[in-house]
Amino acid sequence: MGKDRKHPPADGGKAAADKAGDRSARKAAALRENLRKRKAQQRGREEKPE
């Protein structure tokens, strides 16, 4: 990201590609977060004494 500030793209193609990369990175992070929450919930249910 800091590299892009130093060297702004001459055409919009690179910017669009970076935008798509950011979007997929955000999606991957959201999926990991959801998975982590689900696992935490499962652990919580398993640890509850019957």
Domains of the chain, residue spans: 12-47
In SS3 terms, 17-45 reads as HHHHHHHHHHHHHHHHHHHHHHHHHHHHH
pLDDT of 38 higher than 80: yes
Residues 6+ apart with CB under 8 A from 15: 9
pLDDT of 7 higher than 80: no
pLDDT at 9: 55
Q: What is the mean pLDDT of residues 9-22?
A: 64
pLDDT of 45 higher than 90: no
pLDDT at 25: 86
Say if CB 36 and CB 42 are below 8 A apart. Answer: no
**Looking at the whole model, is its pTM more than 0.75?**
no
Say if CB 7 and CB 21 are below 8 A apart. Answer: no
pLDDT at 47: 63
